[in-house]
Structure 1
Amino acid sequence: MGGLKKIAEITGVSISTVSNVLNGRSNVGQATKERVLEVCSEHGYFPKAPRDPVNISKSKVILFIFSDFDRDFYLKIINGVSDCLTENGYELMICTSKSSMNYMRSSFACGAIVLDSSITDEFVVSAATADFPIVLMDRVIENKQANTKSVTVDNYPAMCELAQGLVDKGFKKFAYLGGLEFTLDNRERFAALVDTLAKNNIEFDRKKYFYGNYREKSGYQAAKLMILSNDLPDVLVCANDNMAIGAMKALKENNIRVPEDISVTGFDDSEMSTMAGLTTISIPRYEAGYLATKDLLEIVEGNASREPFKLNALVKWRKTTK
């Protein structure tokens, strides 16, 4: 009771409201839930999970965990997640920081969808128990003991198609602006580019690999470094749209024209890419969120396969490639 009272005083709600939040009950507003859980995390207060598995099964709350507000495609994914949960009588709790690991250890949720590379594979394996399945949207974990499933983008064939199209347009000097190197998306996208170039007898110059972190600012900074080299490629292939947008801003500041002087491509098909006329690869984001949630609910109810599922992606040719 002492812990509940302290949390209630800090958040300005009743002790019963705090208790309802921690037990996953549906009679508390989303904003209040998020505030209570945030304060619980800050003060390290989470009650132990109930021992009775029947109590756990009564929870109708699903966590969606992500880490990067800059990438606007999250909104469509969340819409897909929310729609699927609403149709099936479940509630959504969104977590956006390291404190989400505490939420995964508490008893108010019955499963999670994780799109957060900062949460390690080791933690996912330890958290994905028989009573708490996890669907991953950013990686595949090869551990048959973990109660997990992966729903990812089929990056490789889509990037191969884009790269081959660029080769067919006559491009020979390629640069690549990568995201976080350890992520599955970046590894698959870069491998597809290099393999496609090799099939066309074009060797990728590793000096033309620039490092980013999927954010626009990192794309801007990487392009500035590329410009300083005084050896522009024919085309800059970016691992996502945000970095491509940042790179184009740096190019414009230096009076380098896109696509007349250099072509640029992205990956994601964000709203900004449409406005910028960016050649990119479109991911069915709403469908990804919906399908990931559908698979998770099937696992919760004991009916789903654990085999990974890959979503098709399509090339969108626009004006940033001549």
Structure 2
Amino acid sequence: MIGLKEIAQIADVSISTVSNVLNGRKNVGQKTRERILKICEEHGYEINGAGKKSRADHNRTILFIFSDFDRDFYLKIIQGISDCLTENGFNLVVCTNKSSAEFMQGSFARGAICLDGSMSDEFLANVAASEMPLVLMDRVMEGVQGNAKSVIVDNYPVMCELVQALIDRGMKRFGYIGGLGYTLDNKERFAGFADTLSRNHLPFDQKYYYHGNYRENSGYQAAKLMLLSNDLPEVIVCANDNMALGAIKAFEEHRIRVPEDISVTGFDDSAIAAMAGLTTVAIPRYESGYLAAKKMLELIGGESRGQEPFKLGATVKWRSTVK
């Protein structure tokens, strides 16, 4: 599928110049305009006589759906999606779960990229069955064929790497603050955590498992509960940065030093995590958004059907919250 980027490269002009021609603006010279229109015709990019795209606008509109404003990495994902779609002549509409169902069921958009755990598998399966291309982020659905793809973080191996390195540093008593239990991220991250302890013959006491919801306050409350028990582990592994930062805040309020008295790790590598010196796992969020948009364009073009989920690698970032 040829897009604005390819047309611009062939014509040796900027993407904005191609966009101006296709939208009928008069700020482009006649020779350049004719050259661009000829390239579009030769490569099957349909336009009408006025220089406008002949397809309806919604046919080049992609939705990005998310539900949690509390996690700052969404901005990186949106930027990646936007850059890829813009390069290929598509528009992006960002919406939340309260409005997205209506947009997905009509003819408003050509496809949807979904990062919303509150949407049921049944609803998303119906969307995919309706011939709307669907890319799921951080989620895999069984039994959805053809019109849906997944882009996920490869959580398990990098969590194993993190926990093994902590064990190699001599740590034996671990705590864990988990996210929402039904999410793929939390399941894979805890599996990597628990399996690594087991391989090293280190028992994990369930009293050190605290349930959170990925928000900072849930990490803060979990740490407060740990403090009440008066039996802290050596290290707290958290399923994301927000909860790790909340836990550190609670420890600091009670004059528990990090990392001298207890080590803390997160997962995501948000901007605030770097500022706080948090040891964490860095996920390429911009790249994940770009790749999700690329998979969407492949689905629209009839490519990449029936393949396995695309897995993104991640890396451990060692900072000052681990001794």
Deviations 1:136-181 (A, max 9, x none): 0021011144621110000000000000000001110000000000
Query: For the Cα contact (< 8 Å) 2:146–2:306, is it kept in 1?
Result: no
SS in 2 for 1:99: helix
More displaced stretch, 299-308 vs 181-190: 299-308
* 1:266 corresponding residue in structure 2: 266
SS in 2 for 1:128: helix
Q: Distance in 2 between matches of 1:245 and 1:230?
A: 20
How far 1:114 sits from its partner (Å)? 0.5
> 1 CA distance for matches of 2:79 and 2:57?
25
**Partner of 1:180 in structure 2?**
180
* CA–CA separation in structure 2 for the residues paired with 1:112 and 1:180: 23
- Does structure 1 residue 116 correspond to structure 2 residue 111? no
Residue 78 of structure 1 aligns with an amino acid whose one-letter code is I
4+ runs deviating over 3 angstroms: 54-58
Report the Cα distance in structure 2 between the residues aligned to 1:160 and 1:86, rounded to whole angstroms.
37
SS in 2 for 1:172: coil
Q: Relative to structure 2, which stretch is displaced further, 117-126 or 54-63?
A: 54-63
In the alignment, what sits opposite 1:221? Answer: 221
Give the whole-Å Cα distance in 1 for the aligned partners of 2:135 and 2:280. 26
Q: SS of the residue aligned with 1:176?
A: strand
The two structures have a TM-score, normalised by structure 1, of: 0.81
Structure 1 residue 129: Cα displacement = 3.0
What fraction of aligned residue pairs are identical, expressed as a percent? 64
Q: Deviations over 1:12-34 (max 9, x none)?
A: xxxxxxxxxxxxxx99xxxxxxx
1: CA distance, partners of 2:85 / 2:61: 9
Partner Cα separation in structure 2 for residue 151 and residue 292 of structure 1 = 6
Secondary structure in structure 2 of the residue aligned to 1:151:
strand
CA distance in structure 1 between the aligned counterparts of 2:102 and 2:176, rounded to whole angstroms = 37
AA at the equivalent of 1:120: S
Distance 2:167 2:126 in 1: 45
Matches within 5 A, 1:107-146: 107-129=107-129, 131-145=131-145
Shift of 1:131: 2.9
Q: Deviations over 1:229-250 (max 9, x none)?
A: 1100000000000000111001
CA 177–140 in structure 1, closer or farther in 2 if over 3 Å, else same: same
Alpha-carbon displacement from aligned partner over 1:71-92 (angstroms, at most 9, x marks no partner): 0011000000000000000000
Is 1:256 the equivalent of 2:265?
no
Query: How big is the shift at 1:255?
Result: 0.6
2:128 and 2:144 in contact (8 A); partners too: no
Query: What are the equivalent positions in structure 2 for 1:194-233 lying under 5 Å apart?
Result: 194-233=194-233
Other-structure match for 2:242: 242
Quote how far apart the aligned CAs of 1:102 are: 1.1
State whether residues 57 and 110 of structure 1, in contact with CA within 8 Å, keep that contact through their aligned partners in structure 2: no
Q: Distance in 1 between matches of 2:128 and 2:188?
A: 25
Residue ranges of structure 1 left out of the alignment (5+ in a row): 1-25, 28-53
| Alignment partners' CA distance in 2, 1:146 and 1:130 | 11
Is this contact kept in 2: 1:110–1:131, CA < 8 A? no
The Cα of 1:215 is off from its aligned counterpart by 0.5
CA contact (8 A) 1:125 1:146 kept: no
Contact 1:80 1:286 in 2 (8 A): yes
- Residue of structure 2 in register with 1:295 after alignment: 295
Secondary structure of the 1:161 match is helix
In the alignment, the residues of structure 2 paired with residue 216 and residue 282 of structure 1 have an alpha-carbon distance, to the nearest angstrom, of 18
1:17 matched to which residue of 2?
A: none
Match of 1:317 in 2: 318
Alignment partner, residue 278 of structure 2: 278
Pairwise CA distance, 1:69: 0.7
Question: Larger C-alpha radius of gyration, 1 or 2?
Answer: 2
The worse-fitting range, judged by mean Cα deviation, of 143-152 and 111-120 is 143-152
- Partners in 2 of 1:231 and 1:239 — Cα distance? 21
The normalised TM-score by structure 2 is 0.81
Alpha-carbon contact 2:146-2:305 (below 8 Å) kept: no
Can you give the 5+ residue segments of structure 2 that lack an aligned partner in the other structure? 1-22, 25-53
Q: Secondary structure at the match of 1:98?
A: helix
2:204 & 2:56 partners in 1: Cα distance? 52
Superposed CA RMSD in Å reads: 1.7
